[in-house]
Amino acid sequence: MPDMPISRLTTTCSTCAIRNRAICADLNDAEIGLLNGIGRRRTLAAGEQVMWEGDEAVLVANVIEGVLKLSSHSADGKEQILGLVYPSDFLGRPFGETSPYGVEALTEAHICVFERTDFDRFAREHPRLEHKLLERTLAELDRTRRWMVLLGRMNAEQKVASFLLEMAERLGVRAIDGPVRFALPLSRQQIADVLGLTIETVSRQLTRLRNEGAIELPSRREVMLRDPADLEVRAG
């Protein structure tokens, strides 16, 4: 795994791909300039770990590009993925001592990193930023709670169908019920860890969806949703 270089931002935030979608969206030029001063851009290789479960929470970040996972382990060592983080999402645990989960890049990723203490101070001094962060956290809590329904009340087929639809949605490739094709940022094992299933069950469900014409699997890491409306029905 190569050690990627860490450098101060060379581009201004104003050219940032997520300038208007991330929590920085409401800041004025002066504020953005200040934030620029404490942030740095960092590239992560696929599979690279950025934070560790239980470790001191040193960093927070905005995701510029790529997909990352948040995960935790049960006492007997089984992994459960707690969430996936996409471009413009906020990453890390501000105002917290330790990170309650590990964070790993699933694809190559670009993130805009801050020392947590720097960020905490900046946020407390800029209520507009803190407000954005609050709205985002509330939205994330809503999403997480919806995921609980999936984990607690859905069967394997419903879980896999829901997963594929949400993935298309969050990757921004979802057309209005036309077929969509995209690269899966997760391995079968990781999908299982998101859904609270085993790898075999995920594999069987995907095969079944393929055999029944709902999806195609052109390669291991690619999927095509042939009939999103059908998947919606299967998702329950």
Partner DNA sequence: CGGACGGTTGAGAGTTCTCAAGAGAAGTGG
Partner DNA sequence: CCACTTCTCTTGAGAACTCTCAACCGTCCG
- Report the DSSP pairing between strands 68-73 and 79-85: antiparallel
DSSP at 56: B
Q: How far is CA 33 from CA 29, 65, 80, 97, 148, in A?
A: 6, 21, 38, 27, 39
By the rule CB under 7 A, 197 interacts with DNA: yes
By the rule CB under 8 A, 80 interacts with a second copy: yes
Cβ nearer to DNA, comparing 166 with 193? 193
What pairs with residue 224 in β-bridges? Answer: 181, 216
Cβ nearer to a second copy, comparing 134 with 175? 134
Cβ nearer to a second copy, comparing 8 with 78? 78
Cβ nearer to DNA, comparing 22 with 197? 197
Could you give the angle at which helices 29-38 and 116-125 cross, rounded to 10 degrees? 160
142 binds, among DNA, a second copy, none (CB under 5 to 8 A by kind): a second copy
Q: Which of 4, 6, 45, 134 binds a second copy (CB under 8 A)?
A: 134
101 binds, among DNA, a second copy, none (CB under 5 to 8 A by kind): a second copy
Tokens of 46: 């696929």
DSSP for 96-155 reads -SB-SSEEEESS-EEEEEEEHHHHHHHHHH-HHHHHHHHHHHHHHHHHHHHHHHHHHH--
Q: Quick one: which segment of 5-13, 48-56, 140-148, 151-159 binds DNA (CB under 7 A)?
A: 151-159
Total chain residues near DNA (CB under 7 A): 21
Per-residue x/- mask for a second copy, residues 94 to 123, rule CB under 8 A?
Answer: xxx---xx----------------------
CA distance 77 to 62: 29
Q: Quick one: which segment of 14-22, 152-160, 167-175, 217-225 binds a second copy (CB under 8 A)?
A: 152-160
